[in-house]
Amino acid sequence: MTQGKRGGGSKSGARGGAPNSKKAKGGSRHTGGMRGLTVRVKTSEGRTVGSQRWLQRQLNDPYVLRAKAEGFRSRAAFKLMELDDRFRFLSKGKRVVDLGAAPGGWTQIAVNRVKAGAPGGGVVIGIDINEWEPVANATCMTLDFLDPGAPDALKQALGGKANVVLSDMAAPTTGHGPTDHIRIMALAETAWMFAEEVLAPGGVFVCKVFQGGTEAGLLKQIKARCGAVRHAKPPASRKESAEVYVVGFDFKG
C-alpha cells in the first residue's frame, strides 16, 4: 500500500527542498502564462496506451509545469494552496500533521504558511510509507501510517496537540471503481481516528475522499465532533477525478 501517493503528483518529479523564491511562497491562484504548444507523446515499444496517455497528460498539465517552475515537488501542492486560500486554516504558529506526505508538496505549502522554522512559527510533521527527501523546517518521517506504532511516533514528534491534520492519502488504484473507493475511504477513516486523538479544540481536519456513497458514515462522525463541515474540489483537482476534500472546522475536542 502506497498511501503516500498524491493525486496527480509524480514520484519521479523534482525533489528539491522547500521553495525559496517569493513566487513559490506567495502562490498565486491561477495558471496564467503557462500556455504553450501541446506536447504529443509518440508510441514506443513497451509503453502501454494508458501510460502513453498519462505521460502526455503530465507533459501538458499546466499545474505540473507550474510546480516545476515554482519549485514545488508535485502539482498536488496547488490543491492545498487553493483549499487554504478558500478556508484559511493554515497560519503562522499552527501545528500541522501531514499524512501521506510524499513527495512533499503539501508539506512545503504547510511549512511556508505556518512559518515553520521562523521565530514564533509553527510545526510541521509529515509521514509517508515511501522514501522521500526531507523538506526544510519540517520533520519528515518514512513510515507506514497503518503501522501500529505510527500514531505514537507522530505524537512524540509533534510534542503536543495539532491544530491541523491533513490527509491526501490514496491507495494504489485497481481500475475497479467500487474497490478503489472502499480502499481510500478506509484510509480516510483511519486518518480521522488519528485526528480525533491529536487535534486540539478548534482544530481543522482536511481529508481526501472519493465520491461514491459510502463516505456517509465518516461524514456523520466528523459532523458529530466538528462545528462545521464543508466539501470542496479545488481547481487543481482534475475534473475527471472523483476526488473531493472534506474539511472539518472547529474540532470540539
Same domain, 174 and 49: no
Same domain, 161 and 199: yes
Same domain, 59 and 84: no
CATH of the domain at 122: 3.40.50.150
Same domain, 209 and 103: yes
Same domain, 90 and 203: yes
Low-confidence stretches of the chain (pLDDT < 50) are 1-2, 4-39, 41, 54
* Domain assignment present for 191: yes
Q: What is the pLDDT of residue 40?
A: 53
Extended beta strands in 77-198, E state? 95-99, 123-128, 139-142, 162-167
How many structural domains compose the chain? Answer: 2
* Domain assignment present for 9: no
* Domain assignment present for 19: no
d(C-alpha 77, C-alpha 188), whole Å: 19
Q: What is the pLDDT of residue 61?
A: 72
Encode pLDDT of 91-104 as tens digits: 999 999 999 999 99
* DSSP code at position 251: E
Look at the alpha carbons of 70, 72, 75, 80 in this order and tell me if their dihedral is positive or negative. negative
Q: Is 208 a catalytic residue?
A: yes
Same domain, 162 and 37: no
Cβ 100 vs Cβ 124: under 8 Å:
no
In this structure, the chain runs to a length of 253
Grid cell, residue 96, equals 500541522
Q: What is the pLDDT of residue 215?
A: 77
Choosing from 5, 115, 208, 252, the catalytic residue is 208
* Domain assignment present for 64: yes
Q: Which of 160, 170, 183 is nearest to 101 (CA)?
A: 170
Where would I find the H helices in 41-144?
A: 49-60, 62-70, 77-87, 105-114
Q: Which of 25, 46, 70 is the last residue of a domain?
A: 70
Which domain does 114 fall in, by range?
Answer: 77-251
pTM of the predicted model as reported, rounded to 2 decimal places: 0.77
As a dihedral over the C-alpha atoms of residue 178, residue 181, residue 187, residue 188, rounded to 10 degrees, the angle is -140
Q: In the beta sheet, which residues pair with residue 209?
A: 244
Grid cell, residue 217, equals 458514515
